[in-house]
Amino acid sequence: MALKLYNTLSLKKEEFKPLKNKKVGLYTCGPTVYNFVHIGNLRTFIFEDILRRTLEHNNYQVKHVMNITDVGHLVSDENEGEDKIEKSAREQKKTAWDIAKFYTQEFKKDIADLNIEPAQIMPRATDHIKEQMALIKILEKKGFTYKTSDGIYFDTSKFKKYGKLGKVNIKGLKAGARIKKGDKKHHTDFALWKFSPQLGSRQAHRQMEWSSPWGIGFPGWHIECSAMAVKYLSQPFDIHTGGIDHIPIHHQNEIAQSEGAYDKPLANYWMHGEFLVIDKKKMAKSESNFITLKILKEQGYHPLVYRFFVLNAHYRTQLNFSWEAMESAQAGLEHLYNQVSNLKSKNLKLTSKNIDKKFKQKFLNAINDDLNTPKALAVMQELLKSRLVTDDCKLATILDFDKILGLKIKESLVSIKIPEKIKKIAEERLEARQNKDWNKSDILRKKINQLGFKIKDTKDGYTLKKS
């Protein structure tokens, strides 16, 4: 079955047709690195990972770019308030650069924990100030900009298609405007370049600022994505993704800038992940429902339990988080691992010849239908229960499915498969280490190695793996 994706531009599922034969350019809006990301953000990154793996499974070569926002994202998306990173730096008494570096590393750890394939290119906004200024200059030349007391703004009335993504009701946006208009000509106008506050003003002097043709300041949040997308993927490219909260402002603005500057589409497909909610409320830093992956781990949940929980809902439906739901996700994933480990086949060297074609087709029909992961998981259960497929073929087929699902089923099998005999030697060795009998510990390590396993010491004990 051909790959079908829901496109926010047309509000329809469409057959995916890449610009270049078998090559796909994918841009996903990355994190603003002023704090830990919450598990609602991580839900979006998991959806994007499934998209990328699905494209790769359909034999596309994916060039994936994800930006790191380390400047310019203000407390409110509508250019109001303090820069999130500068604010965090002030509160934590660190430099803005240290804050950005620290939370970038934490973000990378989170996505690794969730078995999300990192983008090949992860450009930082602060490394692309020149590119952003160059784009603003083009927009200035074409008459899209004007100056106010606090920056250079994009005049949205000059971009006729403003609001086309998701057919957003721009009039409604204006009417509902809690957005302060200030010196702006229209409510929807947004900053391309903001001036640093003058010394002696109420805000402290900024740490991150650059000189520009318009004055010392910093780029707006939206311009970084437009500038970096065209640099790494050129324009148009195939797929642009993000959270559903990006539709009304951030992505409209990216489109206005990029299409205004170059008179061609920014991307052909726009895809958006729905919210994770708690008690019908969106998860956000400003709410008291801010849960990070670290908190889940502290509560005893493996990050892959969260991945499994997320895959049980389609990415375009709201997903309700609760601790009870995590508990059943944990049981569900453990059950799946057990089902696979109970298969009589333990042959991890099976080849694609062993993959059951009928079930593979069923699975692809589900995943290629706009990434229907709940249905794909159901196909996997159907396969496990089937009496018509041998255990060898079941195992090979499930390991093939897991290339998309990313639940590390193969690894779970290896860790379950440690024979009692090896476990016993490892325990004996732990005791020797505790008694500081390094000689004995060394001998036992060699014995374990000879039997085809590897032991690695950790803070609380050890881990065992097949070598």
Contact set with Zn ion (CB under 5 A):
29, 225
Angle of helix 96-113 relative to helix 39-57, nearest 10 degrees, comes to: 60
DSSP category for residue 69 = B
Comparison of 228 and 276: residue with beta carbon closer to Zn ion: 228
Report which of 451, 300, 347 is spatially closest to residue 464, judged by C-alpha positions.
451
User: What sign has the CA pseudo-torsion 434, 435, 436, 442?
Assistant: negative
Token duo for residue 84:
């999130």
- The nearest distance, CB 232 to Zn ion, in angstroms, is 13
- The nearest distance, CB 370 to Zn ion, in angstroms, is 22
Comparison of 18 and 72: residue with beta carbon closer to Zn ion: 72
- The nearest distance, CB 240 to Zn ion, in angstroms, is 8
Comparison of 225 and 311: residue with beta carbon closer to Zn ion: 225
- The nearest distance, CB 66 to Zn ion, in angstroms, is 10
Comparison of 225 and 233: residue with beta carbon closer to Zn ion: 225
Token duo for residue 252:
């409209």
| 285-291 contacts, C-beta under 8 A, 24 or more apart | 285/35, 285/38, 290/38, 291/38, 291/39, 291/321
Comparison of 29 and 74: residue with beta carbon closer to Zn ion: 29
- The nearest distance, CB 58 to Zn ion, in angstroms, is 25
- The nearest distance, CB 411 to Zn ion, in angstroms, is 33
Preceding amide of 18 cis, omega within 30:
no
Adjacency order of strands within the sheet including 319-320: 281-282, 276-278, 319-320
Comparison of 231 and 447: residue with beta carbon closer to Zn ion: 231
Comparison of 196 and 241: residue with beta carbon closer to Zn ion: 241
CB 194 within 8 A of CB 216: no
- The nearest distance, CB 26 to Zn ion, in angstroms, is 13
Comparison of 66 and 99: residue with beta carbon closer to Zn ion: 66
Comparison of 86 and 245: residue with beta carbon closer to Zn ion: 245
Comparison of 29 and 329: residue with beta carbon closer to Zn ion: 29
Report which of 356, 399, 365, 377 is spatially closest to residue 58, judged by C-alpha positions.
365
Comparison of 253 and 373: residue with beta carbon closer to Zn ion: 253
| 381-385 contacts, C-beta under 8 A, 24 or more apart | 383/356, 383/359, 384/339, 384/340
- The nearest distance, CB 65 to Zn ion, in angstroms, is 10
DSSP category for residue 166 = G
Chain centroid to CA 118: 9
- The nearest distance, CB 309 to Zn ion, in angstroms, is 26
Which residues fall within 8 angstroms of residue 122, CB to CB, at 6 or more apart? Answer: 30, 65, 66, 67, 68
- The nearest distance, CB 272 to Zn ion, in angstroms, is 12
- The nearest distance, CB 426 to Zn ion, in angstroms, is 48
Q: Which helix (H) or strand (E) holds 25?
A: strand 23-28
Query: Could you count the other beta carbons within 10 Å of the beta carbon of residue 164?
Result: 15
Report which of 359, 364, 349 is spatially closest to residue 390, judged by C-alpha positions.
359
Which residues fall within 8 angstroms of residue 227, CB to CB, at 6 or more apart? Answer: 128, 131, 132, 134, 135
